[in-house]
Structures are given as structure tokens and as C-alpha cells.
Structure 1
Amino acid sequence: MNRKKLQKLAESLCKTAKHFNRYEVECLINLFNNLEVEPSDRHAAVGLDRNSFRNILHDTFGMTDDMIMDRDCFEVYDLNSDGYISREEMFHMLKNSLLKQPSEEDPDEGIKDLVEITLKKMDYDHDGKLSYVDFEKAVRDENLLLEAFGPCLPDMKCRMAFEVQAFQNTAEL
């Protein structure tokens, strides 16, 4: 892609990409162009197919969990794909992400308490479940809530290494 075409595309995308400046958009476009591959099916469009994307998540970020690699952050937690994270889904995710502590108290009671605390913090419309709108507002206000039910993004060390490499490679173009 020539420089003029890149700048025009970046300018166009900057109008809707609220969290990226023009330089970052140009870097992302260059990065995508470097990652795109020829599809195995001659009728498919050139681009980044699902398998290539999964390979990048695995090779670059060390992600191996199929459920996480197949979904975005909200969908990782919305186990039944009904558009909401219910109390039961929260309980399931928290139960799997917490270490078991030997105590006289029923461990499920502690998890139920955490579910209630989480709902108080994230359920903005007070309907007893998290919609995508609730989830998005909560994680925008407090980034740590993004992984409240267990990790769904690569760790910081992998993300930083990727950013350094991506911006270095695109600056060379």
C-alpha cells in the first residue's frame, strides 16, 4: 500500500476510531498488511483468516485456551451466548478462577458473596445480570474489572513485547 493511500485510509478510520490517534491507526493498518495471508481457498478474500488469527494469539501471546481465542472479552464470560452474564455464569467463572482455601465455611458461600459484590459494582441497570452495556461501562471505568472472572487477555509482558515489535516494524516501513 503506498503512503498516500495509507494516509487517506488512516484519516478515514480516525474519524470513527476514538481510542487511536492517526499514527496508531497507520501502524495498525501496516501491521494488518504484514499479517494478512493468502487464503487456502482460492474463492476466499485475502486477509487475516480465523486460523491465522488464532496462530498469532498462540505464537505471539502464548494464549492456548480455545474458549478465549474464539470469543471477545464479553463473550468469554457469556457462556450460553444469550447476551448477558448471569449470576450462574459469574459463579461458574469465579469458582474456576479462585484458589481453594481450606476453611470451615462453605467455599461456595464466599463465591456467592463475590458474585453479589461484582453485580453491585458492574450492574448499572440493576436487573441482576450484566448486559454488554453494563460490562463495557464497568471496564471502561475500571480496567481491572476486565478480568474479574479470570484472565481473558494476554499478560502485560506479552502485550508490551508485541507493541514494541509492532511499532518498530511499522516505523521501518
Structure 2
Amino acid sequence: MCSYCGCRDISLIGRFMTEHEEIVNVAGVLHRAVGGGDAGEVGTALDHTLAHLHPHTVAEERGLFAVLRRNPDFTDHVDRLCAEHRRLDDLAERIRAGETDLVDTFYDELREHIDKEDNGLFPAAAIELDGPDWVEAIELTPDEGPHAHGHPHAHPH
């Protein structure tokens, strides 16, 4: 994860990077569950992964990505990242349908996607956006998910 440019100090980017770490951790539980061969554990781990992933991708797309998309220099890149969100959703549904051999692909593509955001998009956004842009991105970003509003939840590990 990026730690050299200081973009993590921007509250919204810091939030997204922390969520990325949590998503990778819960996806690791999914990865290990497949090795155990218990379909129930795989389903539970997938549900938990998606409970972290979906609110996160919605928040990115409705907030930061919406603001960045207005800049023609970012539009194509943001659109590709959104397409990767859809690809991860598709892989997850196929895993749920029993194609557990896709968990490695899901996990690898997830990590690659996060790397593009943490080490590419976020540092570029830190340079490109100004104060009013950040205020708007924050205002547009939903604050939902497993950690929203201090609601506790259990990690299955």
C-alpha cells in the first residue's frame, strides 16, 4: 500500500485505503475457506467479503470517482476501475453459484485493482483535486458498510 506520498492523510483517501486493507483481509478468509472444501464456510466468507466490498465500491463511485470523472484526464481510468468493480461482482456471483475454482482469480484481480487505486488513482487525485472538490467528494460519499456509525460486526476468523 502507498505510504510515501502522504495521500493517506486526506481523510477520504485514508478511509478508502483502510477499507482496502480490511477487504483484502476478509477476502483472504474466503481464499482459505475454499481450501477447506466446506461450501457453507465458502458462502459465509463470500458474504462477509461482499459486505465489505459492496459498500466500499458504491462509496468510491458515488463520491471520489464522480468528482474525478468530470476531468477528461481521469474519465477513462475511472471508467475502467468501475468496470473492474463489475467484474469482481460477476466473479463473486459465479463463486456463489459453485465455481469455487474462481476464488484465486477473484483474489488476484481484487489485489491488482486495489493496487491501481492505492498507488495510482489516489496519489493522482491528491495532486489534482482542490479543497472544494474534496468537500464535494466527501459530501457525495455514502458512509455505509460494516464499520459505519460504529456498528459492531464479527469477523469470521
Same topology, TM > 0.5:
no
Q: TM-score, normalised by structure 2?
A: 0.29
Higher helix share: 2
Q: TM-score, normalised by structure 1?
A: 0.27
User: Could you say which structure has the greater relative contact order, defined with CA pairs below 8 angstroms and 6 or more residues apart?
Assistant: 2
